[in-house]
Structure 1
Amino acid sequence: MTGRSKFYSEKPYVIKNCIDQRKEIFVAKVKSYFPKSEYNNLLALPPIFKNIEIENKKDVIGEYMYSQAQKHSLPMTKKDRKLITLLDTNGQFMVFNNYYLWLLIDLGFIITDYKAIAVFEKNVAYEPFVRTMMNLRIQSILVGSSKEKFYKLIINASYGYDTLNTEKFGMIKMLDKAGTFIAQHHPNHMDTRRISVNTFAVQIKPKTATCFTSIQSGVLPQIMQNIGISIIYNFMYKCLDRKRFHFVLADTDSIYIAIAGDKDKDCHQQFESIVTDKQFYDQHVYQYLPDPNKDIYDCKKILGFGIENEGYKLTSLGPKCYSMIVNKWNNEKQQYVFKPKITSKALEQLHIDWHAIWKAIYEAGIKFACESKLCK
């Protein structure tokens, strides 16, 4: 975790030395790429996650998306920001934290230009707090207490509060109606809250800000990406049959994987049937996944992966929208048991049979796969 700033530099040799020595905690801005010789190894899940501006051109977004956008009269002249996965920095300077950049370099990342680097002190003050709250949360789970959610909320809320000094980034004024009307037309206006009949709290974004606590929020997504990519490339790709699993979707702190396992076993077999290097797998698997022979403390270990759901089939329509079949086909009821990641109560209130919807989606997907080139 980063602490106070140590120094900032735009000198290429300083930036290169900090990256190569692998001793400092830093955030660097560089331009780089993966060589084509690494493409086959990386294309299944390109390791660079970035939110960049995309031009809505046919050669960029593809012929199908371009034709659909034109068909529905969508604006094609403006640029859109999209979170995408890349194999290079798209000819731009991009920001990486030290752990993320080191991992990419280990995968074959080649840096071609250096822009700037900010080096920080190491901050370990937050760790004992997290471990204490996590232990209290686990104890609450063991006794079946509702405090478990409370401790989880404390950890999440404290992370954002303690590491980003938000009061330095917003100036709040108490104004009357006339003053509020003027302030709301100011380009730095952020928010307005009514306090009484003629009193308003108006938040203005100051031109400058001073922060004495460590700034983590911008680094957090890269930390999660680093952990996820490290597990995939340093564990899964080294001991599992890559032809028998693929990534369905991913989120900030989760990933959904479809595995072509043993058809005679249930859905709780995990990776057992697709292991190619048994010795490596046995040596490292429980560094990441929970050990069934241990207690909940191992299941909830920090930076470990917990299993949220297991099922027989997984269908995803898009980000944060998926359906998992948690039981096999029921011959008596002639249906699957679904576990959708949507608000089913809202659909039921509208008298919408979401079971039938997801079943139809699944059957349509199977039909499409069988009738298309996917199965030929």
Structure 2
Amino acid sequence: MNDIRKKYLQFLYPKYSKFFGMITALEDEKVRKRLRSQLLEWLDTLPVYGFNSSSYDINVIKKYLPQVLMKYNKKHGNVSKSEKLWIRSIEEELGRNIEQSKRIGRYNADGYDGETNTVYEFNGCFFHGCRKCYHPDDVNPHTGDKMNVLYEKTMRKEANLNQMGYDVKPGVEATKKLCNFFQSLNLDMHKDGISIPGLTLKYLWNTKDHECGPSIVFHHYHERNKTRIRGGKLCQKILGYDANALYLWALSQDMPCGEHKMIEPYPDILEDVMNGSFFGEIECDIAVPEHVKEHFAEMPPIFKNTEIQYKDLSSDTKAQVKPNYKSKKLIGSMFGNKIIFPTELLKWYLEHGLMVSNITYAVKYERKAPFKSFAQQVSNERRAGDTSPDYKLRGEMMKLMGKSSYGKCITDFLKHETVKIVGPNNYNKNVRRVKDYIGHQDLVDGFEFRFKKTAFKQSLPIQIGFQVYQLAKLRMLQFYYDFVDYYIDRSDFQYCMMDTDSAYFAISGSSLQDVVKPHLLGEFKQKRQVWLERDDTLENKLYDSRTPGLFKLEYEGDCIISLASKMYYYDEKKFSSKGINKGKMKLQNTSI
């Protein structure tokens, strides 16, 4: 490995000589030193490729690490996951899983698709003798073979697999396209991050042109011409709407930016929340007044985590669990104590008649939408991927980046650990660290110790992740109370289930427009596109299907059975059974 590193540096340094010259020409000595140090550190990072190395290879070689570390005592670069990304991109495109490390005869295939009898080979340049990257007579220091020999072995393997009836697809070209995609975002896929979340975070906070859920069952069963809506009209249709890129929509909204300011609660603070002059987070008690509880009865608007005990369960559920049952759940409630709300959600609560009291503290931020352009770029790349196969990979990568952005912001550093590889002489010293000691593992000529982190730098904007999750809840509340409940009389619909970004409900007509209140039909047609994707033309439908925050019709059918959170059934092709392998289930509505 050290020989590889030396050759890597000898090859790379001359290519960057002009940049060292530019740095040397700078007048400020501190700036010269800083930039030179940064460039040297970047050049010294050696990407190492390995398929599933984090899961398999590292665990195999871990017991020998003390010997190697004591011998070389040197930090090494990050490990790239480009192979995983490549396989994942293929799975996303195909819509099914690919069998990895498939043994075919005497060969080991990187990926295998049994439905099409296709073999996927990543074919990394270093171990397969890429002729564009290496001279044929160069010797691979790891295998001892010449690059030309490795290349010929790779070609023979592909030829033999093709003769055996397999369709072999190498991945060098796909990997190059992946690198080019991230390069277009001014990111080095190998050095700026070893995962989509890492690359996304780098992109989020360094792009120069920035401008600037619950899963609940409401009703267990509805079926066409069999059940009645709230005991009245017959059910005629089940509709299921799904919010496009709900979290990406939330990320594109106004975010708490700048330095936070702790504000002592003052008498008119709620008025300032209503008029928008106070933007940030407020901790308070909140409750639904008695006179509007009936209005909020079907979908209680206050979402909170609470402990559910045996006494809180229905008689049917009690029969399935033990008397000492306890579980923490996210529920909808009519009240909440000492809950932190973003002011945008709090404003909606106040507008709909909820009562706020006991404001314990408030935090003020600047109101900006720094990620709006990021959300637009994700949407545009996905639209391009829908219309052209050449942009398919870009669309899928931007989809992953869009999903990674908000979750990465709320990484829980408290769950991180410090890992130390030590020699035999340091065993007693480390095992006595009672306060932060978690455990250790015996290795060859040493030990691996795991400790709790005694301190960490909170370098992530956790307020962004918090804001995203809260605004996502706000959007689902708006869909129910400001759209469905506003345009449709409650005698004509009944909510059955919601699952983070989707809502399913029964109606008494054949379509949503059929049950709209007659005096609001004109307004509904005019403002429909504010809530739902357009379906007047195929072009508009495709465009709106990638617009964050719009709701699309995900399901239209005759039956729904909602047993519990994440456990529901619509038909043989669409059902959820959390914790149970779908492949082993043959469900029908009669069995449920």
Question: How does the TM-score come out when normalised to structure 1?
Answer: 0.74
Amino acid at match of 2:290: K
Aligned partners of 1:256, 1:287: CA distance in 2, in Å? 19
Q: Do residues 221 (structure 1) and 472 (structure 2) align?
A: no
Letter in 2 for 1:75: N
Match of residue 323 from structure 2: 74
Q: Does the aligned pair in 2 maintain the 1:288–1:304 contact within 8 Å?
A: yes
1:286-305 equivalence runs, <5 A: 286-293=529-536, 294-305=540-551
Pair 1:110 & 2:355 matched: yes
Choose from 304, 311, 317 the match for 2:563: 317
After superposition, the Cα gap between the structure-2 partners of 1:166 and 1:341, relative to the gap in structure 1 and judged at 3 Å, is closer
1:169 Cα deviation (Å)?
Answer: 8.1
- Of all paired residues, the percent bearing the same amino acid is 18
Mark the CA change 1:339 to 1:281 in structure 2 (over 3 Å): closer, same or farther: same
The more displaced of 232-241 and 198-207 is 198-207
Q: CA deviation at 1:212?
A: 6.0
Most deviating of 28-37 and 170-179? 170-179
Which structure has the larger Rg over C-alpha atoms?
A: 2
Size of the aligned set, in residue pairs, is: 328
Residue 10 of structure 1: how far off its partner (Å): 3.9
Say yes or no: does 1:84 pair with 2:331. yes
1-structure distance, mates of 2:432, 2:543: 52
Task: State the alpha-carbon separation in 2 of the partners of residues 23 and 275 from structure 1.
Answer: 36
Identify the structure with bigger relative contact order (alpha carbons < 8 Å, sequence gap 6+): 2
Query: In structure 1, what residue type is equivalent to 2:513?
Result: E
After superposition, give the CA deviation of every residue in 1:33-88 in whole Å (9 maximum; x if it has no partner): 2211111211011111111234544xxx156268537xx54316xx6422111112
Does the CA contact (< 8 Å) of 1:9 and 1:15 recur in 2?
no
- Is the CA contact 2:436–2:452 (under 8 Å) kept in the aligned structure 1? no
Per the TM alignment, residue 120 of structure 1 is displaced from its structure 2 partner at its CA by 1.5
State the SS of the aligned residue for 1:83. strand
Which letter does structure 2 place at the counterpart of 1:204?
K
Structure 1 segment 1-376 matched on structure 2, within 5 A = 1-13=255-267, 15-16=269-270, 18-54=272-308, 56-57=310-311, 61=312, 64=315, 68=319, 73-75=322-324, 80-89=327-336, 92-144=337-389, 145-161=392-408, 163-164=409-410, 170=416, 172-176=418-422, 178=427, 182=431, 186=435, 198=446, 200=448, 202=450, 204-207=452-455, 209-211=457-459, 213=461, 215-262=463-510, 269=511, 271-276=512-517, 277-293=520-536, 294-325=540-571, 338-342=573-577, 346=581, 348=583, 350=584, 354=586, 357-361=587-591
Does the CA contact (< 8 Å) of 1:30 and 1:95 recur in 2?
yes
Q: CA deviation at 1:184?
A: 9.1
What per-residue deviation string (whole Å, max 9, x for no partner) do you get for residues 292-347 of structure 1? Answer: 1224222221221122232222222222222213xxxxxxxxxxx5432359x955
- Offset from partner CA, 1:80-128 (integer Å, 9 cap, x none): 4221111122xx2221111111111111011122111111223433221
**Counterpart-to-counterpart distance in 2, 1:176 and 1:244:** 69
- Structure 1 gap segments, 5+ residues each: 263-268, 326-336, 363-376
Contact between 2:262 and 2:363, CA under 8 Å: does it hold in 1?
Answer: yes
Query: How much has 1:160 moved relative to structure 2?
Result: 2.9
Q: Could you tell me how far apart the structure 1 residues matched to 2:498 and 2:269 are?
A: 32
Q: Deviations over 1:2-54 (max 9, x none)?
A: 22333113434374454344223211111122211111211011111111234
Q: Residue type matched to 1:272 in 2?
A: Q
Say which SS state the counterpart of residue 407 (structure 2) adopts: helix
Alpha-carbon displacement from aligned partner over 1:131-155 (angstroms, at most 9, x marks no partner): 1122111110122535433221111
Q: Which runs of 5+ in 2 are unaligned?
A: 1-254
Check the 8 A contact 1:140/1:147 in 2, yes or no: yes
Distance 2:369 2:445 in 1: 47
Q: Whole-Å Cα distance in 2 between the matches of residues 280 and 183 of structure 1? A: 72
Q: TM (normalized to structure 2)? A: 0.49
C-alpha RMSD over aligned residues: 3.5
